Amino acid sequence: MKNILMLNKIAKVGTDRLNPADYTLGTEMDNPDGILVRSAVMHDMAMGDNLLAIARAGAGVNNIPIEACTERGIVVFNTPGANANGVKELTLCALFLAARNIVGGIDWAKGLVGDDVAKQVEKGKSAFAGTELKGKTLGIIGLGAIGGMVANVAVHLGMNVVGCDPFLSVESAWNLNHHVVKAATYEEIYEKADYISLHVPATKDTKGMICADTIAKMKDGVRLINLSRADLVNAADVAEAMKSGKMAAYVTDFPTAEVLAIPGVVAIPHLGASTEESEDNCAVMAALELDDYLANGNIKNSVNYPAVSMARSGDLRICCLHENVPEVLSKITKVVSADGANIENMTNKSRGNVAYTIVDITGAITPATEELIRTIDGMIRTRFI
């Protein structure tokens, strides 16, 4: 029986995937084997020795101390694509909000009083006139699960779409409408786009990517959509751009004190994945990832360790998280063979400085052999399932 700590409310359709015969779920636990989390910040959280994996029901993992988890052999999962449709739909809404002063008009209309409201509307509506999306150029930074879908829909809205993604996968590229133009650099997006939509994670390389320098490269009157992360944008520089007219609109899903103080900004209260469907999809994917790793040692959609999956064979599975250094694999097989066990199947992959090896054996190995495997140079964490 393994203990799973839920740091946030996780949709029941997801937690139901964790067999109660195998797992105990709770909102308060000491030293759990696994954690399910959405938005709870874990950077200052103490993590016990039993903790093997964290599954984030969502895409972004900036609330999780990834580096510390990697060093301790704690696999961190996310759920890419599970909430993509919900965020895509809100991005389309944000495009319309950026193009036309809908929010300002609604707020103004709410304040109208008297018997001649219809006349006041006709007299004052010109103050909220906007522009149409058709024929405009949309620049998309990040063409993954969400950005790719936004690009495809924007084409059908009659927009000219140009996108840039240095890490574009072959699968994502195949899913793009052939009318989407691929830009070689972000600078090309800045120069060409009337609208810019951000769909990249918050990393050390993307933090503050929208700043005075990059805004200066944009068209006058550019309209910016940010439903990815607040850290991507320098709020003070956006405020200056809005004030000068360089930027005509900024729509974000991440209200902060700095953003809310900028006149004309449309701040949405982080609703990108706040649909019943998105929450269910993320919960199911996170629960299945956690279960497959805890029960079988398989890794899919990890943000800190390589994806390694293998069908079970043999009597025992040896799972080794280790540094990506020479001879670890040969040392594992040598120790196992020396104990008389037969290796049925094995697989190994690396990711940057770390690697993961799964070995299925027939027969058994002694506790002394287990200890020898644990103490191989470069070994981070070992499990025997």
Residues with a catalytic annotation lie at 229, 258, 270
Residue 137 contacts by C-beta under 8 Å, 6 or more apart in sequence?
159, 160, 161, 162, 192, 193, 194, 195
CA–CA dist 214, 105 (Å, integer) = 30
Cα angle vertex 93, ends 11, 110, to 5°?
100
Name residue, tokens 């943000």: 303
Asked if 358 and 318 count as a contact pair (C-beta separation under 8 A), the reply is yes
CA–CA dist 139, 191 (Å, integer) = 9
For residue 378, what are its two tokens?
């470069």
Residue 14 contacts by C-beta under 8 Å, 6 or more apart in sequence?
36, 57, 280, 282, 283, 284, 285, 286, 287
DSSP for 353-375 reads TEEEEEEEEES---HHHHHHHHT
